[in-house]
Chains A and B, each alone.
Chain A
Amino acid sequence: MTRPYANLSRRMTIVALLVALLPLNGLGLGLYYYYNYTNTQALKEELRIRALNRATAIELFLAERTALLEVLAHGARLNQLSNESELAGLLSIMNRRSWSFVDLGIIDKQGLHRAYVGPYLLKEQKYLDAPWFQQAMQKGVYVSDVFLGFRQVPHFVIAVKHENGSDSWVLRATIDSDVFNRLVRTAQVGKSGDAYILDRQGRLQTPSRRGGKVLDPAPVDMSSVSPGSSVVERTTADGREVLTAFSWICGGKWLLVIDQDPREILGPLNLARNVELAVLGLASLFVMVAVFILVRLFIRQLRRNDEERAAIDAQLAHSARLVSLGRMAAGVAHEINNPLAAMSELAGEMQDILVPGELAKLEEGDVVGENLSRIQNQVERARGVTHRMLKFARRMEPHMEGIDINDVLRESYSFIEKEALFNNVKVQLDLNPNLPMVQSDRAQLQQVFLNLMDNALDAVGQGGRVRVSSQADGAWLTVKVSDSGPGVPADLAGRIFDPFFTTKDPGQGTGLGLSISHSIMQRLGGSLELENHPGQGATFVARLPNSPPDTA
């Protein structure tokens, strides 16, 4: 493709792609981010609600157990509870209804473990310095953080103080960690979800799926957690992007933490988003292909139109050139004919004077006589040239007349005869003498025949052969111009009638000869075709309708 077409093609492609793809992709990407945003928002909200619900459930769990212990502590007497068999009966009744206590114990105000039922050997232990004991004595009710204690197992206790005058003691129960941990774990969702409780120092109170064992420090910056419940996006210590919901429990004593990998939850939702992206990509691809195809088609048609117009322009210019050439030929012929006529008369007069016996009297008179007749011969020769020029000029005007095709062929041949002789090309005229006259434009036919013969001479080069034949077969008169040249390469044969197509060197041909000849033959109702034999020469076949002059 030549430069202007390539530029136009590129500009059209860019504009069409921008116009089609910008809104499409704007809409598509907008939807993509909207999906993303709303999905994430929905997940955050869901996470926050879950954390709140779970926090409420945990608080309720603790509150129920605290209340039960308070009823026991206030309703029973010390003697009664100090009886370990009665205490054991009480614990089994409580656990029968899944109250999830591991043990029960009574501690007097000196901190001595007076009675104990449970799996550990803790009776007679002294708790005067234990923080939970001091807190219970001070506040009446205390739920401890997780600690190791004498049993050296992480656990937490609920302690309730009985006070009756100066007499006071503490009822203490250990909560079953398995049950409590399960309660917290119900907030976990999916394979990667994590839920755990931290104390104010950021130590794990329940095990974390990923964060570690109970009492390990958790990698959460406690100071940045806002009061109440909140959801943040954060990066965990092992580098995962997670959504984390925080919810304070028991008036800020503990912090419930729920980690959630958004991708796991959003995965199915994101499928719709990804389908949308894929549809967008396909649509963009489709638009691009369509744009490329349309631009190509458009440019091809535009180019074809331009070429046709250029060919018509070139033909018009060519015709105009021929007409002015004809006028010039006529003018030149006229200017030469006048001096020729004078020369002829002057020489003729001298012949008139000298011929009747005068020559014999002169020395070398025969040379004078010979020269005079030679002058007449030269005049005659020049006259032949100018008269042919005048004939040529006369025929530049298009008009239909009765024509003997053989006559036109012979005349065309007379124009190239000299060139053929120079190049040692044998031209064979094989004309059928019985051709009917046809009605056609002599000058245009001559132009076609001249062009074909000229091309044939160029094709054969030195020492080649050219054959020109004419024949009549039914409705058509056929003229064939064959040459012994290399023929037309098969891949170019389809293009030789295209305007501006030429195999000659630059400056040697306009590429218009065959194109113009082709359109002339069509205009005259005939045709021009190539019978190609690559390697063995080419034959151009011109056909004219066999129309007698009187019926045309």
Chain B
Amino acid sequence: MNPFKVLVVDDERDFLESLVRRLQRRSVDATGVTSGEAALEHMRVHKVDVVVLDVKMPGMNGIEALRRIKHSYPEVEVILLTGHASVESGVEGLALEAFDYLIKPVKLDELIERIMEAYDRRKVVGELAGSPPPDAP
């Protein structure tokens, strides 16, 4: 199991559950929640390194969730995932320091690659900040 924790946020339960299980099967420590509120709730209790966030969700949408996550946990990397490729939400997401912006459906290998890269940057940022990343080997 990789040493970092991934949180997947998507209101599409079929997608979410399947994806989380597949990530876990590939040794990624992943958890799934179905809304932005649940994600913030989860992060209050559990440590998270990378968030995979659906942009369009009922209730709190992905952009709002991204804003709050970055506000409370600036060191956490967020990968936006959406079925919609509107330029505005992409630009807005990147402006809010999302790590990347991917359009569904995404191949699992590609997603894991991005998660790894995001974690790598998370580590660098953490080291520069002077505090060793949590659970570093």
In the complex, 21 of the A-B residue pairs with CB atoms within 8 angstroms, ordered by the A residue number, are A330-B85, A335-B83, A337-B84, A337-B103, A338-B104, A340-B104, A341-B12, A341-B83, A342-B12, A342-B18, A344-B107, A345-B15, A345-B105, A346-B14, A346-B18, A348-B18, A348-B22, A349-B18, A352-B22, A387-B85, A394-B87
Interface, chain A (partner B; CB < 8 A): 330-331, 333-338, 340-346, 348-349, 352, 379, 383, 386-387, 390-391, 393-394, 397
Are B14 and A345 in contact, CB atoms less than 8 angstroms apart? yes
Are B83 and A333 in contact, CB atoms less than 8 angstroms apart? yes
Are A383 and B87 in contact, CB atoms less than 8 angstroms apart? no
Hey, what's the 0/1 contact readout for B103-116 against A, CB within 8 Å counting as 1? 11111100000000
Nearest 5 CB-CB pairings of A with B: A337-B83, A341-B104, A341-B105, A345-B18, A334-B84
Are A379 and B105 in contact, CB atoms less than 8 angstroms apart? yes
Q: Which residues of B contact A337 (CB under 8 A)?
A: 82-84, 103-105
Flag whether B86 is at the interface (Cβ < 8 A).
yes
Please report the C-alpha to C-alpha distance between residue A327 and residue B105 in the assembled complex, in whole angstroms: 20
Are A341 and B22 in contact, CB atoms less than 8 angstroms apart? no
Q: Which residues of A contact B84 (CB under 8 A)?
A: 330-331, 333-334, 337, 390
A348-B22, A390-B103 known; A342 vs B15 contact (CB < 8 Å): yes
Are A387 and B108 in contact, CB atoms less than 8 angstroms apart? no
Flag whether B70 is at the interface (Cβ < 8 A).
no
Please report the C-alpha to C-alpha distance between residue A413 and residue B22 in the assembled complex, in whole angstroms: 39
Interface, chain B (partner A; CB < 8 A): 12, 14-15, 18-19, 21-22, 25, 56, 82-87, 103-108
Interface of chain A, helix or strand or loop or mixed? helix
Q: Which residues of A contact B87 (CB under 8 A)?
A: 394, 397
Are B83 and A336 in contact, CB atoms less than 8 angstroms apart? yes
Please report the C-alpha to C-alpha distance between residue A393 and residue B21 in the assembled complex, in whole angstroms: 34
Are A341 and B25 in contact, CB atoms less than 8 angstroms apart? no
Are A338 and B108 in contact, CB atoms less than 8 angstroms apart? no
Find the B residue at minimum CB distance from A391.
B85
A340-B105, A342-B14 known; A334 vs B22 contact (CB < 8 Å): no
Are A334 and B105 in contact, CB atoms less than 8 angstroms apart? no
Find the B residue at minimum CB distance from A327.
B86
Q: Which residues of A contact B105 (CB under 8 A)?
A: 337, 340-341, 343-345, 379, 383
Which of B21, B83, B107 is close to A334, meaning CB atoms less than 8 Å apart? B83
Please report the C-alpha to C-alpha distance between residue A334 and residue B85 in the assembled complex, in whole angstroms: 8
Q: Which residues of A contact B86 (CB under 8 A)?
A: 330, 394
Given contacts A335-B83, A338-B104, A344-B105, 20 further A-B contacts (CB under 8 A): A333-B85, A334-B83, A336-B83, A337-B82, A337-B83, A337-B103, A338-B83, A342-B14, A342-B15, A342-B18, A343-B105, A344-B107, A345-B14, A345-B15, A345-B22, A348-B108, A349-B25, A352-B22, A390-B103, A394-B86
